[in-house]
Amino acid sequence: MIDKTVASVEEAVAGIRDGSTVMIGGFGRAGQPVELIDALIAQGATDLTVVNNNAGNGDVGLAALLAKKRVRRILCSFPRQHDSWVFDELYRAGEIELELVPQGNLAERIRAAGAGVGAFFSPTGVGTQLAEGKEERVIDGRTYVLEYPIKADVALISARQGDRWGNLVYRETARNFGPIMAAAATTTIVQVDEIVPLGSLEPETIVTPGIFVDRVVAVGERAWTRGGDFVGGVDIEGRPLADATASREGDQ
Amino acid sequence: MIDKTVASVEEAVAGIRDGSTVMIGGFGRAGQPVELIDALIAQGATDLTVVNNNAGNGDVGLAALLAKKRVRRILCSFPRQHDSWVFDELYRAGEIELELVPQGNLAERIRAAGAGVGAFFSPTGVGTQLAEGKEERVIDGRTYVLEYPIKADVALISARQGDRWGNLVYRETARNFGPIMAAAATTTIVQVDEIVPLGSLEPETIVTPGIFVDRVVAVGERAWTRGGDFVGGVDIEGRPLADATASREGDQ
Amino acid sequence: MTTDQPTATRVSRDELAARIAADIPEGSYVNLGIGAPTLVADFLPDDLEIILHTENGMLGMGPKPAPGLVDPDLINAGKQPVTALSGAAYFHHADSFGMMRGGHLDVCVLGAFQVSQDGDLANWSTGAPGAIPAVGGAMDLAIGAKNVYVMTDLLTKTGESKLVEQCTYPLTGVGCVTRVYTDHAIFDVTPDGFAVREAFGDNTVESLAELTGLRLREAAASASSTGQGTED
Amino acid sequence: MTTDQPTATRVSRDELAARIAADIPEGSYVNLGIGAPTLVADFLPDDLEIILHTENGMLGMGPKPAPGLVDPDLINAGKQPVTALSGAAYFHHADSFGMMRGGHLDVCVLGAFQVSQDGDLANWSTGAPGAIPAVGGAMDLAIGAKNVYVMTDLLTKTGESKLVEQCTYPLTGVGCVTRVYTDHAIFDVTPDGFAVREAFGDNTVESLAELTGLRLREAAASASSTGQGTED
């Protein structure tokens, strides 16, 4: 029997080696594998290269991983946010390398890695600083730059449900980088709200087939759903609204 | 109100011009837009370039379009089948041009067209006749050949259900080339078993978003489903089994 | 440019958003960039179906949710909570940017630091030393629609024209902008530089030329409007 | 080669299919090519989960349907009717071939006209003048799995070896074959050419060398077996 489920986030992140390239899913709070990132911090792997759309917010999750100096290099499209002080400080101190990649090139380069494409010509970034030194080519009258795949040793992603074969479905815009990162990494580790019996997921609607997935761990339902249905009652970061806050918002 | 639905297959294929490149979905019988192909034959456009996995079977559908000498050139991966006599004869007589493309390169080149990729390096076909004259490059120790997008003026595809925005869902392996051809053509024309009200298709499970679709026409349920459920009673080409045939098969 | 120009008529940001909204035909697929362009959504007529794309993986984006119904899984590219309309569809990031890069969007509305008369756009970096660079989807959006509209004040806070002969800020995209909506006037980008499509209030081609320091001309009367998604 | 060799022991096609099936570990993702390789499916043990991929867009392919339950929408790459197992998933052609090209399949089993000692495969065209060329997914399959197994008779009907120093037929893929299962023996492709992993019946390295006209050696005792899908 194939069983990719594991019992705990500790087991899920076991064996991630120092020096690994680690993709981390999510765009904002949506699809961020919060529990897996915390487990990676506890696990201790260091000298990492991280691929993520951002470079961490506040003091938790990816920002906490950065604060512990576990990350040597980061590839992302948007490291500068109002609360990205951890990255900002490391960057200014020269303690972290940054490869800034336009978001669409980031996505397509990750997709290329999973799909076995050796390199591709992209129209994005042509004539800008971010294409400096890259090979250019005019094809059919339009200028493109050559972009290479981004592969990873490990992907940490979040999905709504998974089964023991590793088949996954996502929720709304939390899908974002999950499916392409799952395919681009040697070992793909997924946290799901819920593990469902094999056969529960409709074959037409599976977004990530299990072939791309190595380990699945259930971390429980998000605060804003109950029994799979959206119930709200949280802020954009997923924090339950205090009663006071809720009534203030209600007044606006 | 956006309404991409049209009332008839005649209306659906109206305006296809002589000299067009036409993509036709399907792999075997699965996903073949039978009714749209028939309508295209009746519509009369000629001097076409056709992109399809095969080059027609028997005397119907694509084979009938070929027999009427409407197709100047065909791009496909597998033109030779036990019943592809129409193509065979035209090809041997030098009356049709063939660009033979490995199936995975065909799919990826179509995908590249829809996704705005200028060209890509593929490992498929390297060192073979089908890569002769193509640019080669060694990337990360592996050899690739440069492949270019395949665009089309028109795509004719088949889906299970569609709504008035053009959102589509497919059925089983009939999905095949549909989603990528929809994105690669200037005008995408879709036949569906059934047009459903906007909002009936679950947003998580829509495979082709309406942005890629221009016209949707309902052609009625396939012979092997009833009320959307599979009922069988047909052969692999979708022809209803005669009682005699059915009982013979039952004996085997 | 100096700041002691006589104050010309300007339209408010809301008025400008309404003006852009009015130029978007029904059936268009539209991406509204982060910041001021987001305002355009508030002025799209309720009785017209215009489909909003958000590059983090959705078509058919609806307005912000009611209080208490914020869904952290349902956000726009600016990471603000949104809703889904009937007919919405979700997809992953590569499909979403492929949709853009493949030229399937009709209109994209973006902010700008500068737009050159060749349609070059600078909106991602001021090039200030020591600043943390961040590009997000800006470069993809810049090249990713049939019509790339810029929404911006004509002048910076210090009175310099954002329409320029050549961008001095780092570029986001080359020759990509098709039209610029400013608080003073609407400009088309043409092979001969900027053409004034509509001057608001007491602005004239001449006064705008003076404000921008550019050679300007009037736009041809019936320039083609925004393309439709289908080619029927 | 001549046809008057003493007849060496051969295993039947079914026996060979069973032998290949026995070499595929549980949990493997496997694509079985059109023709003889399809037979392997019949010998995969029912109590082991091995997931079959068909390049026309499905993982978790099951056996052929019961009579009267043929579903024209549910077919394999050979256009034969199949079924879907619990846990199956459908996807489009670009995703399906990306899955292959990206190296996610563990095993692919293919037929062959010829295999060279460098692992080159020829199985798509005899190069006969006037023949209609057709390649299908052959070239993608050839480079699309961690282990590419060939299933074939060792000799052609006229007694020529299909294992060769260099292919004379048009190539399907270069250096892609990892192992060849024949009716006479199993051969590994190594940097030093073919190594006999297992000789059936009265075949020996020497008799096989004579049949093929190639320098052969015995395979190292404990060559690594098929890789698993995960790296745990």
Strand spans (E) along chain D = 29-32, 51-54, 58-62, 83-90, 107-110, 114-116, 121-122, 147-152, 163-164, 179-182, 185-190, 193-199, 217-218
Single-letter residue type at B249: E
Element (H, E) at C163: strand C163-164
How far is the CA of D24 from the CAs of D17, D31, D40, D44, in angstroms? Answer: 11, 11, 10, 8
DSSP-based three-state secondary structure for A191: strand
- pLDDT-derived band at D9 (thresholds 50, 70, 90) equals confident
Averaged pLDDT score across all residues of chain B? 94
The DSSP bridge pattern shows strands B21-24 and B48-51 to be: parallel
Q: Which residues of A touch D229 (CB under 8 A)?
A: 211, 214
pLDDT per residue over A21-49, tens digit each?
999 999 988 999 999 999 999 999 999 99
CA distance linking residue C127 with residue C121, whole number of Å? 14
Indicate whether D49 pLDDT > 50: yes
Average pLDDT over residues C60-65: 96
pLDDT for res C5 = 52
CA distance linking residue B171 with residue A136, whole number of Å? 41
Average pLDDT over residues A184-213: 98
Sign of CA dihedral C178, C180, C181, C185: negative
Averaged pLDDT score across all residues of chain A? 94
In this complex, whether D and C touch, counting 3 or more CB pairs under 8 angstroms, is no
Nearest Cα neighbor of C132 from A86, B27, D124 is A86
Q: Supply A188's token pair.
A: 């793909």
pLDDT for res D37 = 95
Average pLDDT over residues B11-29: 97
pLDDT per residue over C137-187, tens digit each?
999 999 989 999 999 999 999 999 999 999 999 999 999 999 999 999 999
Residues of chain D whose C-beta is under 8 A from some C-beta in A?
26-27, 29, 49, 51, 53, 58-60, 84, 86-91, 94-95, 98-105, 144, 229-232
Point out the catalytic residue in the list C55, C165, C210, C218: C55
Average pLDDT over residues B172-195: 98
Indicate whether A245 pLDDT > 80: no
Which residue of B lies nearest to A203 if distances are taken between CA atoms? Answer: B172
Comparing CB atoms, the residue among A139, A148, A170 nearest residue B118 is A139
CA D14 centroid distance within chain: 14
Name the more confident of B134 and A248: B134
- pLDDT-derived band at C225 (thresholds 50, 70, 90) equals very low
pLDDT for res D223 = 45
Whether C28 contacts C107, CB under 8 Å: yes
A-interface mutation test, from C31, C56, C73, most A Cβ less than 10 A away: C73
How far is the CA of C4 from the CAs of A224, B227, C1, C152, C213, in angstroms? Answer: 54, 73, 9, 20, 15
pLDDT for res C222 = 54
CA distance linking residue D138 with residue D7, whole number of Å? 32
Strand partners, D155: D161
Q: Establish how many alpha carbons lie within 13 A of residue D199's alpha carbon, considering only the half-sphere containing its beta carbon.
A: 19
Number of other residues whose CB lies within 10 A of the CB of residue C202: 11
pLDDT for res D225 = 45
Would you call B110 and D54 a contact, using CB atoms and an 8 Å cutoff?
A: no
CA distance linking residue A87 with residue A100, whole number of Å? 13
Whether C119 contacts C191, CB under 8 Å: no
Label residue C12 exposed, middle or buried (CB < 10 Å: 0-12, 13-18, 19+): exposed
pLDDT for res B177 = 98
Average pLDDT over residues B92-120: 97
Nearest Cα neighbor of D140 from D185, D110, D179 is D110
Would you call A187 and D231 a contact, using CB atoms and an 8 Å cutoff?
A: yes
C55 classed as catalytic:
yes
B-interface mutation test, from D61, D140, D146, D148, most B Cβ less than 10 A away: D140
Indicate whether C223 pLDDT > 90: no
pLDDT for res D1 = 43
pTM: 0.95
Residues of chain B whose C-beta is under 8 A from some C-beta in A?
108, 112, 115-123, 137, 139-140, 142, 144, 148, 169-172, 202-205, 207
- pLDDT-derived band at C232 (thresholds 50, 70, 90) equals very low
Indicate whether A156 pLDDT > 80: yes
pLDDT per residue over B31-75, tens digit each?
999 999 999 999 999 999 999 999 998 888 999 999 999 999 999
Q: Supply D150's token pair.
A: 């060939």
Q: Which residues of B touch D171 (CB under 8 A)?
A: 127-129
pLDDT per residue over A111-123, tens digit each?
999 999 999 999 9
Residues with Cβ within 8 Å of residue D80, at least 6 apart in sequence: B236, D38, D64
The torsion angles phi and psi of D131, rounded to 5 degrees, stand at -70, 145
The torsion angles phi and psi of C165, rounded to 5 degrees, stand at -65, -50
ipTM above 0.90, yes or no: yes
Average pLDDT over residues B127-150: 97
pLDDT per residue over A44-75, tens digit each?
999 999 999 999 988 889 999 999 999 999 99
pLDDT for res B58 = 87
Strand partners, B189: B156, B215
Residues with Cβ within 8 Å of residue C27, at least 6 apart in sequence: B2, C49, C50, C51, C228, C229, C230
pLDDT per residue over B189-219, tens digit each?
999 999 999 999 999 999 999 999 999 999 9
Averaged pLDDT score across all residues of chain D? 92
Q: Supply B47's token pair.
A: 């001097």
Average pLDDT over residues D94-109: 98
Q: Which residues of C touch B206 (CB under 8 A)?
A: 89-90
pLDDT per residue over D142-152, tens digit each?
998 999 999 99
Average pLDDT over residues C94-103: 97
Indicate whether C228 pLDDT > 70: no
A-interface mutation test, from B121, B124, B135, B225, most A Cβ less than 10 A away: B121
Average pLDDT over residues A206-235: 96
Averaged pLDDT score across all residues of chain C? 92
CA distance linking residue D50 with residue D54, whole number of Å? 13
Indicate whether C230 pLDDT > 50: no
- pLDDT-derived band at A242 (thresholds 50, 70, 90) equals confident
Single-letter residue type at A242: A
Q: Which residues of A touch C68 (CB under 8 A)?
A: 232-233, 241, 246, 249-250
- Map A65-122 to HEC letters: HHHCCCEEEEEECECCCCCCHHHHHHHHCCCCEEEECCHHHHHHHHHHHHHCCCCEEE
Q: Could you please report the per-residue DSSP string of B108-134?
A: HHHHHHHHT---EEE-TTTTSGGGTTS
pLDDT per residue over D216-227, tens digit each?
999 986 544 443
Strand spans (E) along chain A = 21-24, 48-51, 71-76, 97-100, 120-122, 136-139, 142-147, 152-162, 168-169, 185-195, 215-218, 225-226, 229-230
CA distance linking residue B214 with residue B208, whole number of Å? 12
Q: Which residues of B touch C49 (CB under 8 A)?
A: 1-2, 165
Comparing CB atoms, the residue among A101, A105, A250 nearest residue C67 is A250
Indicate whether C43 pLDDT > 60: yes
Average pLDDT over residues D193-218: 96
pLDDT per residue over A4-21, tens digit each?
999 999 999 999 999 999
Size of interface A-B (CB pairs under 8 A): 65
- pLDDT-derived band at A247 (thresholds 50, 70, 90) equals very low
